[in-house]
Amino acid sequence: MTEPMVVVVRSVVTFLSLLVFSRILGKTHVAQLTFFDWVTGITIGSIAAEITTDLGVRPWPMYAGLIAWTGMTLLTQFASLKNRWVGKLLDGEPVVVIQNGQVLEGRLRLLRLRIDDLNGMLRSQGVFDLNEVEFAVMEPRGALSILKKSQNLPVTPSDLQIPTQYKGLGIDLVVDGEVQVQNLRRLNLNKDWLKEQLRQQKNIDLKEVFLAVIDSQGKLYVDTHADRAPATDDLSDYPGPN
Amino acid sequence: MKLLMKVIFFGLPALVLAGTILTFNAGQYFKRPHGTADDVAAHLADASGLALAGQWEEARSAREELEQAWQRVRRRIVLTSDLDELLSFDELMAEFQGALDAEDKTQVHIATRKMQAIWDEFGR
């Protein structure tokens, strides 16, 4: 086996292993990672890369390291779930940075956060005026949660005592032109019903449909393969590749 | 169908991990001779013994067989070994040949010991 071939085999094996380990470690979104999670992820990735391309090391000890890091990460995840104290120790706690409209500078220093950073985070949440904020909490995973003053909160139907209808999740009936038979079955419907509804509600044939979603009121959202966007909506403003 | 999906969902990852661990730990198995043609340790002992007995011509021909055996095994253990160790063994093969060409028993001793030490480490 030549050296490039060894790299290819090691790559395939490590890639598949990493896929399995990632699935074991869960579905946490990158934006929800703590700093520690992030560092752990990078370490696991680095070990995997080293197994793949560094032929100057035996793969097994490195692979054992990969298993150990994944195991430790899994262990800390379980420990955080099972024990609140451990969870606080590993992930930290939410920290109030604005209380009753007052910015708490001491807490900002503790978080090594500048007032400019805080302002930026507020703006990214659509708050451009500090007067609107009652509470702001820095979450352990780096997000800023904001509670606006009651006079700045948007009015909801319940404030106006307007009755609303239940709104559940939409269910895909056609995806990429393919009828989702199991979803139809879950709703006690069938393909004939779908064809009929498409004809009645949208006056189109099933073959033309790219995406069809049914909402909790039984209303269909339908997108067809043929796009009819007018040329005036093209955002490209220069000639060349798009 | 549900059972099959479950078997695939849990069985496939388990198979991947088990296969990887087995392959990466199979160095000792790959190193083991499958006949006399790829018995590196035996050929090394032969070549070295002949050289130390002063039978230089026979020792050189035994070294040729050692080289062929090593090339056979090298291909098998390359996946589970450290490349630096493989290259060291290659260098020591050349050193051994040099010692035979110079008919220098001291150098034969040194090269043999070094090769034995590295050979023992393969697959661990």
Tell whether B80 is within 8 A of chain A (Cβ). Answer: yes
Check whether B88 has a pLDDT greater than 70.
Answer: yes
DSSP A195-212: HHHIIIII---GGGEEEE
A163-182 tens-digit pLDDT: 988 888 899 999 988 999 99
Instruction: Name, in order, each residue with C-beta under 8 angstroms of A217's C-beta and a sequence gap of 6 or more.
Output: A165, A167
Q: Give CA–CA dist B29/B43, Å, rounded.
A: 18
A22-39 tens-digit pLDDT: 888 876 656 677 778 888
| Percent of chain A with pLDDT strictly greater than 90 | 47
Give me the pLDDT at residue A229, please: 67
* Selected residues 8-27 of chain A with any CB under 8 Å from a CB in chain B: 9-10, 13-14, 16-17, 20, 23-24
| Chain mean pLDDT for chain A | 88
Check whether A63 has a pLDDT greater than 90.
Answer: yes
Check whether A236 has a pLDDT greater than 70.
Answer: no
Mean pLDDT along residues A193-210: 88
**Backbone φ, ψ for residue B34 (5° rounding):** -100, 5
pTM comes to 0.71
A66-105 tens-digit pLDDT: 999 999 999 988 898 888 888 888 888 899 999 999 999 9
Confidence of residue B35 (pLDDT cuts 50, 70, 90): confident
| Chain mean pLDDT for chain B | 90
Confidence of residue B57 (pLDDT cuts 50, 70, 90): very high
Check whether B19 has a pLDDT greater than 60.
Answer: yes
Give me the pLDDT at residue A3, please: 81
B43-80 burial by CB neighbour count: b if 16+ within 10 A, else e?
A: bbebbbebbeeeebeebbebbebbbebbebbbebbbbb
A109-141 tens-digit pLDDT: 999 999 999 999 999 999 999 999 999 999 888
Check whether B38 has a pLDDT greater than 60.
Answer: yes
Cross-chain Cβ contact A1/B81 below 8 Å:
no
Tokens of B32: 């083991």
Give me the pLDDT at residue A66, please: 93
The arrangement of strands across the sheet holding A171-175 comes to A178-179, A171-175, A209-214, A220-224
Q: Give the H/E segment covering residue A145.
A: strand A144-148
Give me the pLDDT at residue A219, please: 87
Tokens of A71: 């195991």
Give me the pLDDT at residue A238, please: 67
Give me the pLDDT at residue A104, please: 95
Residue of A50, A55, A70, A185 for testing the chain B interface, max B β-carbons within 10 Å: A55
**Which has more confidence, B7 or A29?**
B7
Find the CB nearest A60 among B16, B25, B75.
Answer: B25
Check whether A212 has a pLDDT greater than 90.
Answer: yes
Tell whether the torsion through CA atoms of A63, A66, A68 and A71 is positive or negative.
Answer: negative
Give me the pLDDT at residue A72, please: 92
Q: Give CA–CA dist B97/B108, Å, rounded.
A: 9
* Selected residues 35-74 of chain B with any CB under 8 Å from a CB in chain A: none
ipTM value:
0.79
Total count of residues recorded for chain B: 124
